[in-house]
Structure 1
């Protein structure tokens, strides 16, 4: 690595927008040889803003990340959730950016955007075509320096409602959703900023007012508490000039000191419990306090978590899952800026109490101590970490985000090489020392989560009461804060235009039909030294179309193909693959079984040998079959406790009918899984493994001439034609009917509205045109449905509509989780929006917006290996012409309002839709009935409760 530290670099600074806002180059890191490094230049502006630039011309895209060093760790008792609330508020416009314009501007530019909040930081980010950089800097600088005057009470109330919906959807309304909240408030001292979740408490959100939020912004969102990281197809000198122009005039905020809090100290186990109304099965969890991120023991704790509770070779898998004592058994280490936790989670098999789980858990730790840490443990851990690190650098977003994270946690973006060194120098002794220091004999929070009516099965009686008497409220300096805007010497009201359009290159690919009947497609990608390969053998879910009693067989078979082989146990294969930093997995789909390989280029040969072992030498054992069968049966019970999962399953049954293969989940049902035998698995392998019409997709650092000889083993497969059963036609919907599934006390109602369409996948026909037509209705954040239900009404965390299609069928669907008390009103609004759109069509502005957004987004379509694989895989799967993207572009350019209206009316018929509502009948039934629809009650399996129609 070559590093230059400069006191001043006047040759690299530019006078522009704000006079004298010159950025100082403080560091430049370049790559030397084969070292692992993300090259960058780092600057600091006079107002304290840190600027990090990573230059990468491999794709015509740029990623912009603004990270503010403020998360829930800057909050206090009674005022939780502020940082996350501000993540929402900062998308609501500023002095020169209108309400909803931020999302609209980025989307219209062909970009993608979001924000996220954790304990320690909030970040906002966009990935856009490289010609849109200046526009992104205008947007981000305007909300950093010109935000507060645009805050209104209405925006505040809508976003407060949206955050409450988010909490309901992700925490309160899902099984085990309060696990981390309960653990953290009992693990950390009262008032410790990690003792609450970033989402905050509803009661705190209820009491906060707009002035509280304004003070929070003034205190923490200044440029001196932020890092702007820009990566991609840029020239650093140009970037510096633009950043000085748009950010240079923004005044610095108050000085920000590091957060200092006492560590969590537990003298013994703290037993706590709660009743979960959504859980069907109990859960046992243990949480130990550990160390902050970048502590010297970070790698040792990560390795310890893997050895104890990650993967087939882990102690917990062997002691619990394989012995069928638990359906799930995991451990993980999670480190943040101020502290960390080591957690264990056990989901017991039926009949086991949580007291049983606790005894078995400590017995498993005893077995770990006897087993110790092996050389093999360390080798596979290092191989996996190296692969993970390298694969994370496929995109400019991945690289820029990594630099931003290093900066806010350490103040030094150049940490990736040091992290790799820390992990690759790890020893067995380091891991065992971490176990003795943080786990063995140490106090922990022991949490019992139990379904209603099973309170007696907790591990032990609660023995801990939170001490609230010693809390001293922090003085963060909110008094006397004043809002001062910067003064520019340019007109900030004018949105910047676009730079020159970037040249978008569709990946070049090669194709080869092999004598054994397999079809191969590949593209070379030398950005990182990896190879991704998939082999899909015809078959899959559709094979059971004429034998629905065994639906789910293909998925079960794929699971069994990941188990033991004749020459290796599944654990041995897992070890070998982890050592190689690679993976081989078998999965099932609608019409095929797929063998997926991800390998470091240097290890491709031994990985391909392990692929062949999986393909040719499966060993279908009774033990594995019984274990997977039991896990599947219990997983169906868990799914029935999740309203969203119930909605998806029942909606498919409504759309396709109860006796249609596509109306049954690819994993099957409780009844079909019970029907399966080990012989069924063996018969699937004997009857449906073939090279004829197999599809092979290859992306990575490998040439056609290198990989084709490595595929010669496919000739060992039988070359036989697999005929899939014909897919039945779907039932027509005669009139719109509401179907209701009762989930008592549900905070939200899951909406699924739509039906099957006659369209199948056709990227240059009606299917593509229908996607374009839906864009303004429900296909993007600024669509009519989302703006109405989320941004205007505040009833949901998000709402969308979409068309889907494959070779066999198509659907149109609206979906959302809606606040329970707004269910009837939301259904009325959905139907109103749909009917208005069909009657009047899109506006000129909506058509222009759609065309710009979709056309510009081409620059982002082919950046990563996964994106390239999806593109060429689609060409192979549907036998598409190589220029189909050009054909789509012509369709997009020529699409008119009248065409959009015609396509919409052809495929969206609100008078003939299935409307499914999964929620609390007691709260929503009366209101829904007043809308005038027939209402039919269903159970969680989609069966009519009776024939009564309301």
Structure 2
């Protein structure tokens, strides 16, 4: 299960709206040609209303006698396949007092089945060179994997075995282990995260007791503690039959062969109980409910939630448009009235639709420097609603959303997984895999009158749930005094003993215990690319690909945050942020509107050793989009108003980030490795003190000194050939250079004796553990590369020794890992996990034991064979999408590699032996020379960690 960030519009997985950010196919735009004629006046935008367009996804659909719906899609563009099994069961199918079952089963389905050993599913897919995962939401659970095309039969065998033969392998030990894992996941993602309880509290107030959405998908810990193994088995028998599932396969397949394999492995599985569709249950409120949550936060948060309709209701599309007008991006009213005024660090609106009910949410993260309390923000929200009613719906409002929807469709088509997701979701919730045209049609049909009507019907003057999240002890900051008491969960003890369901044997005509074999992998070649250099030194690599009508361009300016003065760290990040704002000819809002109408995006950011510029557009809209890039790159306005706003927002966000334990761990680790006297030891985005010291003149000077082509590279991928790309980007060839030196750093890499450091995070329910040391810098073929191979069985995959110990065996964590991380000038070894606070010492001991054992004995012959297979078979998945192709080119340019490097690496992998890898591991995995950093509750940790025998020091991280 994945938690949503506090950004953007959130859409249900039920519709094409999921795949947002897309391109309007026929929007036109007139721009001031400042780049040719030197004009300075602002020109108006001319955007003709257009109809959304889209093509069907070709597919073959049929239903087995046991009720399993099968959807097949052939796409031979890359030698890979994606297999998705979606069960129409989520947390909405659970009973009161038994929350979290669907998500729990997402975990249990990876714990082996009758013919697949414990953890074998992950192992088989990883060794095959694939990737896999599962997700759960309120209405469905899906399991998916992408593998090289020759591995399809094996994946179908795996999925069929856990669909039809899971229960014989479900044991009490597995049940207990995964129960602890789910508890750790909840602690890491909900209880130990600022604002982590936001959605759970809102649901408790919005929906009546017993409503399927009145509890969160991950469930309550007390419910997980309450139930037993037989409860879980009964839940599986009720909902996980083939007649409640959709099997979707896409990629480089032969339809007849795929169908034969599906029939072989899935047809014998017995049908489950009939699954009855749940009734639509939109929430209703008779008055506005104010609730307050005191949390470990710095920035107060206000969330106003109105109940609306349900997914695929005739009013859903118009409500989506309304949410966009009110709170999506810089063109929205909430941005103008809150963020632009410096009253909020972030503000947005979202229309979240689920199968049974939808929610219309307006959210604002307050800037405490300029806002006295959440009551004032609540007033601004209501003023913004009034402003909308007076302003009405404009042509651009409709077109922005329509462009957004269509862009999502196009980008989803860039990967087989994206197309399979669309078909699986559409079949599950609409009974038809190809609903692209109907989905586009309903958004195209939205009128101004529709938007105003749904505003008046569902929002204007209607009751809402108003949630105030405030710092501990500051309830007076809430929007209003709490007038609603969250219902108590008085769960009656289960009277009847739930017996394990009867397991009826399935009759097969073959031996299902035999793992299918795979043909040899196809030889994979890196994508063909072209090369060019502009006279000013910009190196360019490009790939022409016509699978989708899209075009992307990225610029990387080396130096980035490393060029910051030590007393003004964050200057590069602040400069990049300001380049996303106004230009000399357009306000930030006008640029945002133009880009949105085009369905394009341009972003500037700073991180690591680069300032990066990313451009994404539909190929037919590339000309006006690149004109906007030229405007933003060469004519940033750098106004005082924009500077003050971005600086204030940066400080506010930074204060809040210091409540995030992962951020504290990262800051603490870098401080200990590099010190606060080096730029390397300080955060990329700076500190509170350094940001406060930066002036607008500093930004202008940084721009003049370093936003130059001297150390710049460019990558272009899309539906454009070399000549077209060079013509589009020709303006970059006249970009004037200005010499600057790339900084170098002297780093003391010695750690004579590792210590234990604690960063205090009072009352934390989890501890973040980092075990680390200096390690080799990046190289493609030597020590760093080989250490990456050596680490694979230790902590570099799900089935690694570290993860299987701490997560699967002990249940201390949701996930544990280790890695050798290398840059051009720095390298680190990091082992990390978020663990239950009561098991902090035991977790550190297990980490140390695993690393020491690996250091002493090295990997086994079996582990070496596994990593060779996994690495050698994964190339089929590396170059599928334009983004992956661009990433390959970026690596070539930034790391000074040639196109043969993947083949050279494969040769090393195939010829290296365990002795070589073990010798390197022995050299670098000495835990006595590693520091241990723990972010947690120091009051309880200090004494509990003394038995580890290390010097303990409590430190403060740079703020």
> SS at 2:948's partner residue?
coil
Find 2:661's aligned residue among 632, 643, 653: 643
Superposed displacement of residue 647, structure 1: 0.7
The separation in 2 between residues aligned to 1:850 and 1:225, in whole angstroms, is 37
Q: Does 1:430 align with 2:450?
A: yes
> SS at 1:420's partner residue?
helix
Q: Is the 8 A contact 2:571 2:699 kept in 1?
A: yes
Deviations 1:655-687 (Å, cap 9, x if unpaired)? 111211111111011111011000001111222
The separation in 1 between residues aligned to 2:56 and 2:393, in whole angstroms, is 30
Structure-2 change in CA distance of 1:580 and 1:472 (3 Å)? farther
Q: Does 1:896 align with 2:916?
A: no
Superposed displacement of residue 106, structure 1: 0.7
The separation in 2 between residues aligned to 1:313 and 1:662, in whole angstroms, is 37
Q: Does 1:458 align with 2:478?
A: yes
Find 1:223's aligned residue among 242, 252, 263: 242
Superposed displacement of residue 282, structure 1: 1.6
Structure-2 change in CA distance of 1:291 and 1:473 (3 Å)? farther
The separation in 1 between residues aligned to 2:598 and 2:850, in whole angstroms, is 54
Tell me which moved more, 155-164 or 584-593. Answer: 584-593
> SS at 2:952's partner residue?
strand
Q: Is the 8 A contact 1:657 1:730 kept in 2?
A: no
Q: Which has the higher contact order (CA 8 A, sep 6+)?
A: 2
Find 1:88's aligned residue among 107, 113, 116: 107
Find 1:882's aligned residue among 867, 888, 899: 899
Find 1:717's aligned residue among 735, 738, 753: 735
Superposed displacement of residue 505, structure 1: 2.7
Structure-2 change in CA distance of 1:51 and 1:886 (3 Å)? same
In the alignment, which residue of structure 2 is the partner of 1:124?
A: 143
Q: Does 1:172 align with 2:191?
A: yes
Q: Is the 8 A contact 1:287 1:446 kept in 2?
A: yes
In the alignment, which residue of structure 2 is the partner of 1:817?
A: 834
Q: Does 1:615 align with 2:627?
A: no
Q: Does 1:941 align with 2:940?
A: no
In the alignment, which residue of structure 1 is the partner of 2:305?
A: 287
Deviations 1:42-78 (Å, cap 9, x if unpaired)? 1100000010111100101100111111100101111
Superposed displacement of residue 579, structure 1: 0.7
The separation in 2 between residues aligned to 1:261 and 1:374, in whole angstroms, is 32
In the alignment, which residue of structure 1 is the partner of 2:805?
A: 788
TM-score of the superposed pair, with normalisation by structure 1? 0.93
Q: Is the 8 A contact 1:385 1:581 kept in 2?
A: no
Deviations 1:279-311 (Å, cap 9, x if unpaired)? 122211111111211112222122111110111
In the alignment, which residue of structure 1 is the partner of 2:382?
A: 362
Q: Does 1:656 align with 2:674?
A: yes
Report matched runs for 1:705-854 at 5 Å.
Answer: 705-757=723-775, 759-854=776-871
Superposed displacement of residue 882, structure 1: 1.5
Find 2:430's aligned residue among 410, 421, 425: 410
In the alignment, which residue of structure 2 is the partner of 1:569?
A: 587
Q: Does 1:266 align with 2:285?
A: yes
The separation in 1 between residues aligned to 2:767 and 2:834, in whole angstroms, is 6
Report matched runs for 1:96-495 at 5 Å.
Answer: 96-260=115-279, 262-276=281-295, 278-350=296-368, 351-465=371-485, 481-495=501-515
Tell me which moved more, 913-922 or 780-789. Answer: 913-922
Q: Is the 8 A contact 2:233 2:500 kept in 1?
A: no
Report how many residues are paired: 906
The separation in 2 between residues aligned to 1:142 and 1:301, in whole angstroms, is 42
Structure-2 change in CA distance of 1:594 and 1:782 (3 Å)? same
Give the aligned CA root-mean-square deviation in angstroms: 2.0
Deviations 1:722-771 (Å, cap 9, x if unpaired)? 212222224421211100112121111001111222x2221122111111
Give the gaps of 5 or more residues in structure 2: 1-51
Give the gaps of 5 or more residues in structure 1: 1-32, 943-950
TM-score of the superposed pair, with normalisation by structure 2? 0.92
Deviations 1:855-897 (Å, cap 9, x if unpaired)? 1111100011111001011112222121111100000001111
Q: Is the 8 A contact 1:796 1:816 kept in 2?
A: yes
Q: Is the 8 A contact 1:657 1:731 kept in 2?
A: no
Q: Is the 8 A contact 1:54 1:232 kept in 2?
A: yes
Structure-2 change in CA distance of 1:469 and 1:529 (3 Å)? closer
Superposed displacement of residue 940, structure 1: 4.2
> SS at 1:330's partner residue?
strand
Superposed displacement of residue 433, structure 1: 1.6
> SS at 1:373's partner residue?
coil
In the alignment, which residue of structure 2 is the partner of 1:703?
A: 721
Superposed displacement of residue 480, structure 1: 9.3
> SS at 1:696's partner residue?
strand
Deviations 1:217-256 (Å, cap 9, x if unpaired)? 1100100001100010001111110011111111000111
Q: Does 1:510 align with 2:527?
A: no
Find 1:65's aligned residue among 77, 84, 109: 84
Tell me which moved more, 44-53 or 293-302. Answer: 293-302
Report matched runs for 1:624-635 at 5 Å.
Answer: 624-635=642-653
Tell me which moved more, 926-935 or 461-470. Answer: 461-470
> SS at 1:231's partner residue?
strand
